């Protein structure tokens, strides 16, 4: 084979793999991104945020509902514990306007006298209600109907103003836009959650 044909074949094969050099007439900076590339990335981030926003809001609403359910459970258990510990009657009041839970204590002189009439007052920050105050539910979470649970010093719990389960346990319904739970309390103070929807 002639020498010049051999050189032509090598030059042709070598140039097929490399892209042609089109930047001969212009200068390009070596660092940074073009504004078109940045705009494209920002649009992708905006689209993904728009798709994820409803899920994030739903997660936050469920988180608030679960937190408020735990709050109601803790208030009921705190009222029962304080009634047993201090020998006084306590009430857990669940209000619908505003939606809040508060603890009340019977402040009569001798609460264990069978003839006494209870006088429930909001818990002051004293020896009987240390650290407990009225607590509002999270935004978007509400009681379907309010009522009062009375915790007696022997550990029993009775409800006033609530619906009752088929077994006779008073319950309060707590809900947000999508979910609803029943917080049922047995006469012995056992608290259980039942998802309604």
For residue range 66-107, list pLDDT tens digits in order. 999 998 998 899 889 988 888 888 889 898 888 888 888 887
Report whether 126 contacts 157 (CB < 8 A): no
Q: Which one, of 88, 145, 96, 97, lies nearest residue 120 by Cα?
A: 88
pTM (two decimals): 0.69
Domain 54-195 architecture: 3-Layer(bab) Sandwich (3.55)
The first and second tokens of residue 101, run together, are 């839970």
């Amino acid at each position: 084979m002639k020498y010049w044909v051999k050189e032509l074949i090598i030059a042709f094969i070598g140039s097929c793999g490399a892209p042609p050099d089109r930047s001969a007439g212009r200068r390009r900076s070596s660092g940074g991104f073009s504004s078109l590339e940045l705009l494209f990335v920002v649009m992708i981030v905006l689209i993904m945020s728009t798709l994820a926003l409803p899920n994030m809001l739903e997660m936050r609403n469920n988180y608030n509902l679960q937190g408020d359910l735990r709050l109601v459970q803790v208030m009921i258990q705190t009222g029962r514990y304080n009634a047993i510990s201090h020998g006084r009657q306590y009430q857990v009041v669940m209000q619908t306007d505003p939606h809040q839970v508060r603890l009340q204590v019977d402040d009569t002189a001798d609460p264990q006298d069978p003839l006494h009439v209870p006088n429930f007052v909001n818990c002051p920050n004293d020896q009987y209600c240390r650290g407990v105050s009225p607590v509002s539910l999270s935004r978007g979470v509400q009681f379907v109907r309010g009522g009062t649970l009375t915790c007696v010093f022997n550990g029993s719990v009775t409800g006033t103003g609530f619906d009752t389960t088929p077994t006779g346990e008073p319950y309060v319904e707590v809900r947000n836009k999508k979910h609803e739970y029943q917080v049922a309390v047995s006469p012995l103070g056992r608290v259980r959650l039942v998802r309604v929807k």
